[in-house]
């Protein structure tokens, strides 16, 4: 019997391959999306649980109330951890991590290897956490100053093909040499701690002046404690508050400053940590929730469409079922056949979805900044999904026909009365409506997002960001030395020295003048005489600094934004200043964008480099414009010369165009995410249309035949068939378009420079969806319409 079922099922597939493939594809896509979201949700919930003691590890957070100004940090001072360990028996273990946000460069075999995931870790690090050491002793690897533990991959990058254990390295061209005392397994991606280089904590004492004894000094250490199983959190919190008072709060009594330490479970960091400055994105619970809802929605809608379509098509089988019944197939057997077929098809869909997941995961990972892997999921999860997907959809798609079986009379079936479907099934229409609303709103939104991104990327920044690189030079003298050396290369055409650059950090001061009050918050930047020319910034009025005149330190230029803010018609000759020092304005530059286009151009005051006083605390950068060439070539020249000139100084550089595009990373991934969801929504909605029209075609087959006999043309019949679906599309438009308009206006308002809402997108999206829907309905109904009416009518 099984063989017979299988044979029949496969034959059916072969008879209507297009239909079967479309239907399966829709189902598989929905399953794949759900699959990926389940992987995502599972992985998010699994963060930091691989530590053996994960239930007992807590991170200290510091909550500060400074005169009503509330701040929470995930870091404490270095002193807190040891004190807790000493005073509280509940605290059975402790480790600290610091300095994780400074990348280090290692000059090795004639090239730089950069670790952007380096940090200092206390020797108890491998006790508290379950990161594995492949080589070295976890107890002692981080006990001595200038010991480092690196990960397997980083070791391979530093010393390809060699055993890195015991090797000496120098970091950032500094004097000290470090010994590699351990090789760790690579960090699992579901860890909130991400490192590939760990320096021992005692190193920090040697090379920095950090204070390790005061609770209110150097608040930049992550402190992790292991709590005993029977620790009473309330009691511990009270004791901690008391200790905090003793160590710290007593100093600030009467000053309106109060500080509280709290214990935050490590396994909740990924989902629920509200603190900034983690090594990874945290507080993803909201996102997880949204995605879970999307998954359920997709599953529900796609499942409904699939079941709908399958049932509509299975109406074609009235005769077959009738014949089988007459020949003696019992009801149970027929039911079994229906269930077998639908479960077989959904199982095929599930297999297809596995392939889709494998294909789509890289894209998903890129958009979501995750590192999901289908084979990384536990087998029971995949098995569970297989059972749920196959069982659920298979059962649902089989249930209606089987239910019908339970009341059938073979006579009626043979007479063609088998398929009397419920006429106006409201949920079906509501669902189509929802699908249309979602698709329309998403299409409009996606177009708007992409138009805005395009607007960004084409906008005139006020300077030329191509072929521009900056190198950190500490001070003016080094900068001049480096510039001089670089000018020997014909590849480099222009040079300037500057304290700031687009996409870099900014220095802001309040600037005063006799006719403006209170003052204007302005960016301050010090540059040399070639700045305008190198950056390709336009001068509005007046003049720029000139070299022959010597450093014109008593003069400044401002930008148009400053002029506007001050309300001046002519700024030239005016005096501005700060703290008693005044400068005369000799020129006004056009506005140029130092920050992302999310922000407006801010007022700026440009001074000339020369007297160290003003900018002593600011680093000086050499900005170089190079001829069209690969950035790799530029980089290798800069690096080599830098090492030659300053063997013990860190080489730090940025390509301006990269910095600028980094400013829009979030916007791009937002756009991609929207695009992905839009495509998904459209696909699902179209399958919905396909299902509904198949259903309607079946339902109105007789009516169509009669109309045709009476002389109706194909056109009018297609129109008749489309009318219903078009009606729902129009209703959807009335709901979706204003909604999309409202939300996109809000989104656009978040940009200082944005397009105005493009109303044509509404018409375009509607038209696009309309055309595709019409196409499907036509395609679907032509089949019915082409049928010989005599045949249809005689079988009724």
Partner 1 sequence: MIKTVDLTKVFRTEEVETTALNQVSFEIKEGEFVAIMGPSGCGKSTLLNILGLLDNPSGGEYHFIDNEVSNYSEKQRANLRKRNIGFVFQNFNLIDELSVFENVELPLIYLGYSASERRKRVEEVLEQMGIMHRKNHFPLQLSGGQQQRVAVCRAVVARPHIILADEPTGNLDSTHGDEVMNLLEELNKNGTTIIMVTHSQRDASYAQRIIRLFDGQIVTEDKSTEFVLTSAAH
* Sites of contact with partner 1 (CB under 8 A): 1, 4, 7-8, 11-12, 15, 319-320, 322-331, 333, 409-411, 414, 795
Helix ranges restricted to H, 46-179: 80-87, 125-128, 152-158
| Nearest approach, Cβ of residue 424 and partner 1 (Å) | 18
Looking at beta carbons only, is 407 or 746 nearer to partner 1?
407
| Nearest approach, Cβ of residue 784 and partner 1 (Å) | 17
| Nearest approach, Cβ of residue 326 and partner 1 (Å) | 6
CA dist 575 to 287, 324, 615, Å?
52, 100, 20
Continuous segment of H or E residues that includes residue 65? strand 57-66
| Nearest approach, Cβ of residue 404 and partner 1 (Å) | 14
Residue 169: partners with Cβ closer than 8 Å, 6 or more residues away: 106, 108, 148, 158, 177, 178, 180
Instruction: Answer whether the bond into residue 518 is a cis peptide, omega within 30°.
Output: yes
Looking at beta carbons only, is 254 or 328 nearer to partner 1?
328
Looking at beta carbons only, is 5 or 753 nearer to partner 1?
5
Residue 367 is classified by DSSP as: H
| Nearest approach, Cβ of residue 415 and partner 1 (Å) | 9
Helix ranges restricted to H, 623-713: 631-645, 656-662, 665-699, 701-709
Looking at beta carbons only, is 18 or 327 nearer to partner 1?
327
| Nearest approach, Cβ of residue 425 and partner 1 (Å) | 21
Looking at beta carbons only, is 374 or 411 nearer to partner 1?
411
HSE value, Cβ hemisphere, 13 Å, CA-based, for 674: 21
Residue 306: partners with Cβ closer than 8 Å, 6 or more residues away: 23, 26, 27, 30, 346, 349, 393, 397, 687, 691
Looking at beta carbons only, is 333 or 399 nearer to partner 1?
333
Looking at beta carbons only, is 280 or 414 nearer to partner 1?
414
Please, are residues 279 and 100 in contact by the beta-carbon 8 Å criterion?
yes
Looking at beta carbons only, is 151 or 402 nearer to partner 1?
402
Please, are residues 520 and 506 in contact by the beta-carbon 8 Å criterion?
no
Looking at beta carbons only, is 323 or 388 nearer to partner 1?
323
**Closest C-alpha among 210, 214, 211 to residue 247:** 214
Please, are residues 637 and 469 in contact by the beta-carbon 8 Å criterion?
no
Looking at beta carbons only, is 273 or 337 nearer to partner 1?
337
| Nearest approach, Cβ of residue 351 and partner 1 (Å) | 23
Residue 79: partners with Cβ closer than 8 Å, 6 or more residues away: 211, 212, 213, 214, 215, 217, 247
* CA gap 641, 22 in Å, rounded: 61
Number of Cβ atoms within 10 Å of the Cβ of 550: 9
Q: What is the CA radius of gyration of the chain?
A: 35
* CA gap 597, 661 in Å, rounded: 11
| Nearest approach, Cβ of residue 342 and partner 1 (Å) | 16
| Nearest approach, Cβ of residue 414 and partner 1 (Å) | 7
| Nearest approach, Cβ of residue 794 and partner 1 (Å) | 8
């Amino acid at each position: 019997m099984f063989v017979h079922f299988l044979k029949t099922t496969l034959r059916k597939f072969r008879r209507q391959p297009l239909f079967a493939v479309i239907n399966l594809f829709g189902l598989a896509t929905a399953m794949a999306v759900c699959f990926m979201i389940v992987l995502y949700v599972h992985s998010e919930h699994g963060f930091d649980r691989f530590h053996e003691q994960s239930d007992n590890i807590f991170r200290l957070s510091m909550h500060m109330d400074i005169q009503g100004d509330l701040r929470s940090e995930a870091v404490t001072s270095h002193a807190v951890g040891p004190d807790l360990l000493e005073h509280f028996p509940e605290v059975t273990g402790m480790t600290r991590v610091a300095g994780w946000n400074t990348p280090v460069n290692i000059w090795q075999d004639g090239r730089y290897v950069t670790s952007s995931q380096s940090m200092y870790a206390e020797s108890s690090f491998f006790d508290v956490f379950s990161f594995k050491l492949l080589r070295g002793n976890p107890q002692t690897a981080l006990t001595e100053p200038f010991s480092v533990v690196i990960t397997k991959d980083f070791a391979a990058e530093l010393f390809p093909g060699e055993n890195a254990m015991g090797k000496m390295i120098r970091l950032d061209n500094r004097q000290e040499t470090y010994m590699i005392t351990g090789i760790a397994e690579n960090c699992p991606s579901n860890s909130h701690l991400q490192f590939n280089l760990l320096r021992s904590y005692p190193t920090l004492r040697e090379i920095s002046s950090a204070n390790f004894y005061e609770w209110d000094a150097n608040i930049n250490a992550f402190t992790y404690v292991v709590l005993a199983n029977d620790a009473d959190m309330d009691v511990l919190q009270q004791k901690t508050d008391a200790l905090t008072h003793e160590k710290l709060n007593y100093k600030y009594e009467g000053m309106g400053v109060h500080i509280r330490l709290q214990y935050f479970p490590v396994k909740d960091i990924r989902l629920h940590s509200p603190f900034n400055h983690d090594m990874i994105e945290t507080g993803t619970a909201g996102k997880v929730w949204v995605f879970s809802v999307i998954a359920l929605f997709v599953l529900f809608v796609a499942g409904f469409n699939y079941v709908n379509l399958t049932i509509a098509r299975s109406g074609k089988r009235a005769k077959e079922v009738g014949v089988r019944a007459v020949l003696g197939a019992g009801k149970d057997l027929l039911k079994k056949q229906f269930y077998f077929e639908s479960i077989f098809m959904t199982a095929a869909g599930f297999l297809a979805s596995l392939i889709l997941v494998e294909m789509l995961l890289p894209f998903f990972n890129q958009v979501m900044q995750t590192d999901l892997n289908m084979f990384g999921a536990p087998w029971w999860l995949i098995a569970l999904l297989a059972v749920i997907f196959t069982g659920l959809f298979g059962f649902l798609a089989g249930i209606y026909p089987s239910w019908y079986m339970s009341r059938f009379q073979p006579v009626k079936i043979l007479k063609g009365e088998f398929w009397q479907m419920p006429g106006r099934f409201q949920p079906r229409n509501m669902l189509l409506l929802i699908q249309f609303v979602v698709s329309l709103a998403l299409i409009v939104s996606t177009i708007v997002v992409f138009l805005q991104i395009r607007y960004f990327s084409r906008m005139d920044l006020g300077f030329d960001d191509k072929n521009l690189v900056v190198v950190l030079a500490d001070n003016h003298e080094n900068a001049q030395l480096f510039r001089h050396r670089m000018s020997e290369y014909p590849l480099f055409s222009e040079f300037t020295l500057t304290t700031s650059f687009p996409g870099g950090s900014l220095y802001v001061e309040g600037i005063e003048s006799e006719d403006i009050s209170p003052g204007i918050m302005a960016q301050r930047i010090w540059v040399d005489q070639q700045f305008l020319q190198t950056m390709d910034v336009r001068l509005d009025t007046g003049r720029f600094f000139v070299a022959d005149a010597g450093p014109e330190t008593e003069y400044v230029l401002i930008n148009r934004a400053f002029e506007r803010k001050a309300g001046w018609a002519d700024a030239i000759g005016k005096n501005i200043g700060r703290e008693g020092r005044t400068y005369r304005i000799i020129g006004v530059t056009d506005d140029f964008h130092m920050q992302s286009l999310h922000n407006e151009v801010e007022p700026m005051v440009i001074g000339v480099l020369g007297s160290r006083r003003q900018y002593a605390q600011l680093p000086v950068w050499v900005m170089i414009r190079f001829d069209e060439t690969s950035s790799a070539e530029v980089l290798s020249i800069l690096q080599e010369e830098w090492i030659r000139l300053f063997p013990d100084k860190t080489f730090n550089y940025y390509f301006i165009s990269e910095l600028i595009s980094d400013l829009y990373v979030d916007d791009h991934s937002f756009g991609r995410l929207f695009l992905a969801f839009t495509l998904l929504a459209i696909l699902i909605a179209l399958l919905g249309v396909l299902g509904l029209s198949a259903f309607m075609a079946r339902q109105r087959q007789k009516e169509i035949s009669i109309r045709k006999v009476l002389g109706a043309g194909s056109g009018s019949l297609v129109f008749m068939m489309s009318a219903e679906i078009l009606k729902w599309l129009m209703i959807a438009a009335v709901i979706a378009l204003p909604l999309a308009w409202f939300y996109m206006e809000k989104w656009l308002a978040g940009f200082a420079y944005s397009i105005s809402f493009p109303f044509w997108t509404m018409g375009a999206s509607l038209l696009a969806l309309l055309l595709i829907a019409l196409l499907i309905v036509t395609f679907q109904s032509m089949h019915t319409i082409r049928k010989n009416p005599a045949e249809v009518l005689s079988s009724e």
